[in-house]
A and B are shown apart, each in its own frame.
Chain A
Amino acid sequence: MTPLTFTLRNEPEERLDLSGLTPDRLAGMTPAEIAKLRVGTSRRPVAAGDIFKITGTDASNIVFSGGSGRFDRVGTEMTAGRIRVAGDVGARAGRRMAGGLLKIEGKAGVQAGSSMKNGRIEIDGDAGEGVGGPMAGEIHGMSGGLVIVRGKAGDRAGERMRRGIIALLKGCGDHAGLGMIAGTIVATGRVGRYPGHLMKRGSLLFDLKPAELSPTFVDCGRVEIAFPALFDRYLMEEGILDRPLLGPRPFRFGGDNAVLGKGEIMFARG
């Protein structure tokens, strides 16, 4: 079977809510039925058929041929299957995702992987602020799964995350791991102001010492524990990094002591 392919006809005039175009929701539907699904968000919303040329039959393998910064909520609540976007996406890609693979070959907007529970998101370009974070009014952010951003991420990556792994391969903005409850954030490159602000538990793993570390983190010196080697091996086996991040004796800071103080920031070089 050929992948179910949505080929973008023109840049949309309005933001599109693509949460309905996931493997779970499209299973068993014909292209004609899919074309009638409402995806627009304005007063006169467009249907999927107005925006995309729809071909293919395999709903478990969806391809968006051509992307746009107005593609919101791609892969929302998907539980299985695969979505590939050949281009950019807008806000909240992979929102509350519970399984499967979401591959974005361009940039992602704000809150990619917002409150995701499981599965894997790969973003080849930059990502906006709030990767894995909660939406307004929600208590917790990401609670499982893996997000890989191969470009730079914005502020507040991993806000209030409880579990899972976020890898940011060209650095990130301010307050990475803000209010983090548990989980792991990996970042290589420049990290913004006060990573781990208000974090209770969890691990922030960097290649370099952050330029601005909150004074409520305390220096624990260099540590010789098994975790860095294990995690380095995991990162390489998953294809996230091609060389060790932390090495055998990383530097460790404990905090945030303003809250519980059971989190850690580790980095290879001071």
Chain B
Amino acid sequence: MVAWIGSRTVPLSAAIEQVAKLLATSRCPVFSLDSDIHGCRSLIALAERVGATYDHVNGRDLVHEVALHTDIGGFFATATEVRRRADLIVVGGDLPTAHHDLLLSLAASKPDLSGGGRRRWFQINGKAASAGGGRPLRLPKAVEVGSPDYPVDAVLGILRASLAARKASAALANADAFLSAMAKARFPVFVCSHLTDVPSLAMLQGMLADINKTQRATALFLPADDDAWGMVLASTWMTGFPPRTGFSTGSPVYDPWLCDVDRMIAQKEADLHLWVSERDEAPPARRGGPPTIALVRGERPVAGAAATIRIGKAGLDHDGVVYASRIGTLRSVAATTPSDLPSVRTIVSHLQHALTGKDMPC
């Protein structure tokens, strides 16, 4: 049982035909995506075919991480380089729980290319510094720098002013130890995720730019969601832009506000919503929203959806390719419990065929 129209079980071919019809007649379709690289590539190709706008299902978080790269830019390194070269690691704010193992493995290693095999740790903390999600990571070796009175972005600002020998109107605990360690370090690395907002990331990268005038320093950026970051990479190499991008004019247009799928649905601009999630996430229930097509793993049809098709998950039901921030690039994942559930790419291939009479080029 893999497909439903409404709550009625149908053969997959009938569901494909229905979904293709909805996509072909839609004036302003929007896609919310969450899949592996193959799935994202096929869905972006489908978006181009039907003139849709797409975003990740967690686009609200992803947009800040993308803005760090599109609006600010910065210095970045891979975890491998950090492991071998960093003689000083500064953790900026809380990090997502998914990356705690990476930090702990870094803490257990020694740099063999720098610093005489020694590595110092600092952790920047501030008021309510829990933007990364999950429980806070406490590294036993780390010296905590910060203030309970100021949030992380303000703490970063004070540190940046101190590094440039400019005044600030507040003092931080262990700031002198931090400045002393920075002066001695040969390759300091700041580890960051989506701290709180774009201004915080801008402050951190600005501090790195200041430091790089006299010595080397870089950042290890850890995305909050590796799968979402994989989609960013796939989107960028296919269209030249990260998500939020739309094809309503035929060419890709990147616009984080205009192509915000949640906003488009809330403001009744979208007239069809394709929701794809390889995790067990169902589309959020919306009263009066557009018709929804759901590609999900669940065993039941999504309540209120015009059509639901079951899909498998890469690395579980079928092989796939995902982004891994631990190595800073893509990696293949083999199916751990292979099943007959179709992949996203397979479903999209059927849809492309139903829409054009041709198979997908990729």
Partners in one complex: yes
Complex-state Cα separation, A41 to B167, whole angstroms: 50
Indicate whether B255 reaches chain A with its CB closer than 8 angstroms.
yes
Number of interface residues of A (CB under 8 A): 36
Contact B157 A136 (CB under 8 A): no
Contact B166 A198 (CB under 8 A): no
Across-interface contacts of A215 in B (CB, < 8 A): 150, 154, 157-158, 168-170
CB distance from B265 to the nearest CB of A (A): 14
Contact A258 B160 (CB under 8 A): yes
Pick from B67, B150, B167, B202: contact of A136, CB below 8 A. Answer: B67
Indicate whether B269 reaches chain A with its CB closer than 8 angstroms.
yes
Complex-state Cα separation, A216 to B153, whole angstroms: 11
Produce 1/0 per residue, A123-135, CB < 8 A to B: 0000000000011
Across-interface contacts of A217 in B (CB, < 8 A): 169
Indicate whether A179 reaches chain B with its CB closer than 8 angstroms.
yes
Contact B257 A110 (CB under 8 A): yes
Q: How large is the interface on B (under 10, 10 to 19, 20 to 34, 35 or more residues)?
A: 35 or more
CB distance from A92 to the nearest CB of B (A): 9
Produce 1/0 per residue, A109-145, CB < 8 A to B: 0110000000000000000000000111110000000
Contact B166 A257 (CB under 8 A): yes
> Chain A at the B interface: mostly helix, strand, loop or mixed?
loop
Contact B71 A137 (CB under 8 A): yes
Contact A136 B51, CB 8 Å, known A179-B202, A197-B199: no
Indicate whether A259 reaches chain B with its CB closer than 8 angstroms.
yes
Contact B26 A258 (CB under 8 A): no
Contact A258 B206, CB 8 Å, known A215-B154, A216-B158: yes
Complex-state Cα separation, A42 to B258, whole angstroms: 12
Across-interface contacts of A194 in B (CB, < 8 A): 153-154, 199
Residues of B within 8 A of A (CB): 26-28, 50-51, 67, 70-71, 150, 153-154, 156-158, 160-161, 164, 166-170, 199, 202-203, 206-207, 248-249, 254-258, 267, 269
CB distance from A236 to the nearest CB of B (A): 33
Pick from B27, B50, B154: contact of A14, CB below 8 A. Answer: B27
Contact A136 B255 (CB under 8 A): yes
CB distance from A176 to the nearest CB of B (A): 12
Pick from B28, B154, B168: contact of A218, CB below 8 A. Answer: B168
Contact A198 B202, CB 8 Å, known A43-B27, A136-B256: yes
CB distance from B260 to the nearest CB of A (A): 10
Complex-state Cα separation, A91 to B150, whole angstroms: 34
Contact B199 A43 (CB under 8 A): no
Contact A216 B202 (CB under 8 A): no
Contact A214 B154 (CB under 8 A): yes
Tell me the nearest residue of chain A to B159, going by C-beta. Answer: A258
Indicate whether A178 reaches chain B with its CB closer than 8 angstroms.
yes
Contact B258 A15 (CB under 8 A): yes
Complex-state Cα separation, A195 to B156, whole angstroms: 16
Complex-state Cα separation, A3 to B154, whole angstroms: 51
Contact A136 B248 (CB under 8 A): no
Complex-state Cα separation, A41 to B28, whole angstroms: 9
Across-interface contacts of A72 in B (CB, < 8 A): 258
Tell me the nearest residue of chain A to B71, going by C-beta. Answer: A136
Across-interface contacts of B202 in A (CB, < 8 A): 179, 198
Complex-state Cα separation, A243 to B157, whole angstroms: 36
Across-interface contacts of A138 in B (CB, < 8 A): 71
CB distance from A34 to the nearest CB of B (A): 20
Pick from B50, B199, B248: contact of A178, CB below 8 A. Answer: B199
